């Protein structure tokens, strides 16, 4: 699926686990992921692996379909879009079953509500890119990134570490 969406060569950028506990799980205001780790060609995309069933009550993902076509948008404090112009309910709710994986580009506007239920919502989110898509800023760099998950890294031999 990743090579159909990104191309023959797919590289892991990073992963993280999100846990929204019952009744106190916080919201993610609408945003693009671009400002956190901007790249030149915008091949970066998330695969959000659901460990629990997610629905509107326990704060499932909301996305604005097609919003990635607008390109990078101005984010307040570089983190979130203006919440009056982009309320979470503007997005399409994406309920998912445990085991489902939702894919979305890092320019797709997305967010999620608080968890109002008595059920935990957990997901593990992986960000992948084409290895030839270069970061435009030296940020969100960490030792875990670089694993190839399919294809090859054509510039592997050119890699020079910081030290």
Ligand X SMILES: O=C(O)CCC(=O)C(=O)O
Residues that bind ligand X (CB under 6 A): 18, 28, 33, 48, 61, 110-112, 123, 125
| CB contact at 8 A, 44 and 133 | yes
Can you state the percent helix, strand and coil of the chain, rounding each to 5? 10, 30, 55
Provide the minimum distance between the beta carbon of 59 and ligand X in the complex, in angstroms, as a whole number: 6
Strands 45-50 and 101-105: antiparallel
Encoding tokens for residue 136?
A: 């435009």
Q: Which is nearer to ligand X, 51 or 132 (CB)?
A: 51
Provide the minimum distance between the beta carbon of 108 and ligand X in the complex, in angstroms, as a whole number: 10
Provide the minimum distance between the beta carbon of 159 and ligand X in the complex, in angstroms, as a whole number: 27
């Amino acid at each position: 699926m990743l090579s159909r969406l990104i191309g023959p060569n797919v590289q892991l950028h990073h992963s993280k686990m999100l846990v929204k506990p019952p009744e106190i799980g916080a919201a993610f205001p609408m945003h693009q992921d671009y400002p956190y780790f901007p790249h030149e060609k915008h091949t970066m995309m998330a695969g959000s692996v659901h460990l629990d069933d997610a629905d509107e009550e326990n704060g499932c993902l909301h996305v604005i379909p097609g919003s990635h076509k607008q390109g990078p948008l101005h984010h307040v404090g570089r983190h979130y879009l203006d919440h009056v112009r982009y309320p979470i309910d503007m997005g399409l709710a994406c309920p998912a079953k445990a085991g489902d994986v939702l894919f979305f580009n890092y320019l797709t506007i997305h967010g999620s509500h608080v968890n109002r239920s008595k059920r935990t919502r957990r997901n593990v989110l992986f960000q992948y890119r084409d290895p030839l898509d270069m970061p435009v800023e030296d940020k969100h760099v960490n030792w875990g990134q670089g694993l190839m998950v399919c294809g090859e890294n054509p510039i592997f031999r050119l890699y020079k570490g910081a030290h």
